[in-house]
A and B are shown apart, each in its own frame.
Chain A
Amino acid sequence: MGVVHGQEMVLNIGPQHPATHGVLRLQVKTDGEVISDIKPYLGYLHRCFEKHCENVTYEQVIPFTDRCDYLASMTMNFGYVVAMENLMDIKVNDRVQHIRVIMAELQRIASHLLATGVFGLDLGAFTPFLHMLRDRERIIDLFEMTCGARLLYNYMWVGGLSHDLPKGFVEATLNFLDYFEPKIDEFESLLGHNKIFVERTADIGIMPAEVAINFGVTGPNLRASGVNWDLRKDDPYSIYDRFDFNVPVGQGIKGTVGDSWDRFYVRLQEIRESVKIVRQAIDQLPKEGDVHQSMPKKIRPPKGSIYSRTESPRGDLGYYIESDGSDTPARLKMRSPAFTALGVLNEIAGGWLMSDVLAILGSLDIVLGEIDR
């Protein structure tokens, strides 16, 4: 048998491709089936978020933060209002804090449900996707009940909330949690222990902890690599220090620590923890309290700047706000977690086969709206 030298081939995926989660273009160099280099091309959804922020008032920024990460709008709002309240030194009352935590954690469940569902869909498992979207719709119904919108809420405002909780919300949420908790085990056995799914994800796309930190990867992707780092525990904002929950980290149950399966599994475990937090927050929810109590009439932060981070479902969501004393931001930068998560793709996908790229990309859980902003 003669010596066969592989010929390098360049393959384009996207910008319109069902598995790229939006409009992302990947230029993949392959030697046969083996990947040697991936160049992501971004910006197909660059909607000039930062330019808008410099031209609208501080209140008007909130709807634009919604539209950046459209799968986790509540947490995007949350990050922004936490940054603004730190900058202006506003204290909000307990009822507002509890409602915010309930909303953020419900949003985390919804986002992780879609992330794991679409991850399964990328690998050809259609049924879990339908199951997860069915339960996500129930969470969306709770949000709709609260603020009228299904996807982009504009619910958390600086110093308060747009509305108080509607009548019957607490009962509806508890009903949902009772219904939902057994379903998590179902998802785990349906997708997580599915032989095909395990074969496609375990030991694939391993991300060592030091690589993850050097590339600025955060959130579930970092935790899957075995690093116990969660801003809700390590740098608690809002009232997260009052709740009892665990931070799931990757253990390499089906393969190596930090593989694609671990990233999936960490998300699934986080859903369990979020359910726990929502239950505690509902238990402790104060009956009294005006949600508009601390809202300033006109938002005019003092001169200065702040960098504030919160934990969104995708990782460390940072807002850098520079104020010049007027009612519009002088500069507002969003440090988006999915942006850094996509940056590591070339590092961890090299050497794997063509079909693994989509598994690795799906496991990183990117949202293009937030990457391109």
Chain B
Amino acid sequence: MSEDKQALIDDAVDKALAGDMDPINNIEDRVTRSKAKAALVKAKRAKPKTEIKSVASVIHEDSNTKSKDTIEQIVMTSLAKSFSDFLDGEQNSGWIQIKAENWFGIAKWLKENDDLYFDSLQCNTGIDLGEGMLESRYNLHSMKHLHAIEIRIKVSIEKPDIPSVESLWRVADWFERETYDMFGINFTGHRDLRRILLPEDWEGWPLRKDYEEQETYHGIVVPKVKEGWE
């Protein structure tokens, strides 16, 4: 693409962002017009986002800064400075058990704190603990400091509400939808909480321990005879 065309596109996009679509629509050349529209969509998307720090360059720089305390202890002591009453029940080595209501604030802090900098959410697992309790587990990882941590949040089966962290780690969008799909954990504040794997009209939460298969689905019979299968 020649430079004057690029300048034309930039100019048109700027005007369109200000609310005037005519410059784009008046571009004669079809290819240039579509390129300008593409650039406009990109610009619109990029606008409301908060700035994410460039992380690609700093990876591997200071991986030897770990002290003798385990990462869980470090996180807990520094968390205690900013939050009170966030722990839930007894603590164990290997993970941190926190209360649901503080989760979003803690997650934001874990992500943005420079010493911890958990920029990557590796995995979100739901689990049915039995006795009417569900749990959501988050495996966080820092690609800058190369340390990892596990956060666990327990909720009751009657009121399974956990704040969503989908706006912090965008990967959580689908992870949380999957956990919702399988366990029925309600992630409050999620912008698009629908079933992801199962059809919209599916009944029940398959990975809960008390799940029973439905007899028919849209008239398709589900064979039930399973004795002597092995």
Which of chain A's residues have a CB closer than 8 A to the CB of B54? 209-210
The reply to whether B38 and A340 form a contact with Cβ atoms under 8 Å apart is no
Which of chain B's residues have a CB closer than 8 A to the CB of A229? 59, 143
The reply to whether A34 and B41 form a contact with Cβ atoms under 8 Å apart is yes
- A350 with B34, Cβ < 8 A, contacts A339-B174, A372-B197 known: no
The reply to whether B38 and A42 form a contact with Cβ atoms under 8 Å apart is no
Tell me the total A-B contact number using a CB cutoff of 8 A. 125
CA distance A315 to B178 in the complex (A): 19
CB distance from A300 to the nearest CB of B (A): 20
- A316 with B143, Cβ < 8 A, contacts A32-B34, A209-B55 known: no
The reply to whether A3 and B41 form a contact with Cβ atoms under 8 Å apart is no
Asked if B71 is at the interface of the complex by the 8 Å CB criterion, the answer is: no
The reply to whether A318 and B139 form a contact with Cβ atoms under 8 Å apart is yes
Which partner residue on chain A sits nearest B39 by CB separation? A351
* Contact residues of A between 325 and 371, Cβ < 8 Å to B: 330-331, 333, 335, 339-340, 343, 347, 350-353
- Choose among A50, A210, A213 the residue that contacts B182 (Cβ–Cβ < 8 A): A50
The reply to whether B171 and A3 form a contact with Cβ atoms under 8 Å apart is no
The reply to whether A36 and B41 form a contact with Cβ atoms under 8 Å apart is yes
Which of chain B's residues have a CB closer than 8 A to the CB of A318? 122-123, 139
* Contact residues of B between 31 and 59, Cβ < 8 Å to A: 34, 37-42, 45, 52-56, 59
Asked if B125 is at the interface of the complex by the 8 Å CB criterion, the answer is: yes
CB distance from A257 to the nearest CB of B (A): 9
The reply to whether B196 and A42 form a contact with Cβ atoms under 8 Å apart is yes
Number of interface residues of A (CB under 8 A): 54
The reply to whether B38 and A216 form a contact with Cβ atoms under 8 Å apart is no
- A227 with B127, Cβ < 8 A, contacts A215-B170, A216-B121, A340-B171 known: no
Residue in A209, A214, A340 whose Cβ sees the most chain B Cβ within 10 Å: A214
Asked if B86 is at the interface of the complex by the 8 Å CB criterion, the answer is: no
The reply to whether A216 and B171 form a contact with Cβ atoms under 8 Å apart is yes
CB distance from A138 to the nearest CB of B (A): 35
CB distance from A163 to the nearest CB of B (A): 24
The reply to whether B39 and A335 form a contact with Cβ atoms under 8 Å apart is no
CA distance A36 to B52 in the complex (A): 23
The reply to whether A1 and B137 form a contact with Cβ atoms under 8 Å apart is no
* Contact residues of B between 12 and 36, Cβ < 8 Å to A: 21-22, 25-26, 28, 34
CA distance A33 to B94 in the complex (A): 51
- A48 with B171, Cβ < 8 A, contacts A216-B121, A350-B42, A351-B39 known: no
CA distance A316 to B174 in the complex (A): 16
* Contact residues of A between 1 and 59, Cβ < 8 Å to B: 1, 3-6, 31-36, 42-43, 46, 48, 50-51, 54
CB distance from A315 to the nearest CB of B (A): 11
Which of chain A's residues have a CB closer than 8 A to the CB of B163? none
Asked if A238 is at the interface of the complex by the 8 Å CB criterion, the answer is: no
Which partner residue on chain B sits nearest A320 by CB separation? B125
* Contact residues of B between 133 and 186, Cβ < 8 Å to A: 137, 139, 143, 146, 148, 150, 169-171, 173-174, 182
Which of chain A's residues have a CB closer than 8 A to the CB of B182? 50
The reply to whether A33 and B34 form a contact with Cβ atoms under 8 Å apart is yes
CA distance A373 to B174 in the complex (A): 14
Which of chain A's residues have a CB closer than 8 A to the CB of B40? 351
Which partner residue on chain B sits nearest A307 by CB separation? B139
Asked if B120 is at the interface of the complex by the 8 Å CB criterion, the answer is: yes
Asked if B207 is at the interface of the complex by the 8 Å CB criterion, the answer is: yes
Which of chain B's residues have a CB closer than 8 A to the CB of A228? 59-60
Asked if A154 is at the interface of the complex by the 8 Å CB criterion, the answer is: no
Asked if B228 is at the interface of the complex by the 8 Å CB criterion, the answer is: no
CB distance from B110 to the nearest CB of A (A): 14
The reply to whether B169 and A216 form a contact with Cβ atoms under 8 Å apart is yes
Residue in B125, B174, B207 whose Cβ sees the most chain A Cβ within 10 Å: B125
The reply to whether B56 and A226 form a contact with Cβ atoms under 8 Å apart is yes
Which of chain A's residues have a CB closer than 8 A to the CB of B52? 210-211, 214
* Contact residues of A between 216 and 231, Cβ < 8 Å to B: 216, 225-229
CA distance A211 to B122 in the complex (A): 15
Asked if A309 is at the interface of the complex by the 8 Å CB criterion, the answer is: yes
Asked if A322 is at the interface of the complex by the 8 Å CB criterion, the answer is: yes
CA distance A42 to B39 in the complex (A): 29
The reply to whether B206 and A316 form a contact with Cβ atoms under 8 Å apart is no
Q: B: which residues have CB within 8 A of A?
A: 21-22, 25-26, 28, 34, 37-42, 45, 52-56, 59-60, 94, 119-123, 125, 127-128, 137, 139, 143, 146, 148, 150, 169-171, 173-174, 182, 195-199, 206-207
Task: Knowing that A228-B59, A307-B122, A307-B123 touch, tell me 15 more A-B residue pairs with CB under 8 angstroms.
Answer: A3-B25, A42-B197, A43-B197, A215-B171, A234-B60, A305-B94, A307-B139, A307-B148, A309-B122, A322-B127, A331-B128, A343-B171, A350-B41, A353-B34, A353-B38
A–B complex contacts, Cβ < 8 Å, 22 sampled: A5-B25, A31-B37, A32-B37, A34-B37, A42-B197, A51-B206, A54-B207, A209-B55, A209-B56, A213-B55, A214-B52, A214-B170, A225-B56, A307-B139, A307-B148, A322-B127, A330-B127, A331-B128, A335-B123, A347-B45, A351-B37, A351-B40
Q: A: which residues have CB within 8 A of B?
A: 1, 3-6, 31-36, 42-43, 46, 48, 50-51, 54, 209-211, 213-216, 225-229, 234-235, 304-305, 307, 309, 316, 318, 320, 322, 330-331, 333, 335, 339-340, 343, 347, 350-353, 372-373
User: 4 closest Cβ contacts across the A-B interface?
Assistant: A216-B171, A43-B197, A209-B56, A351-B41
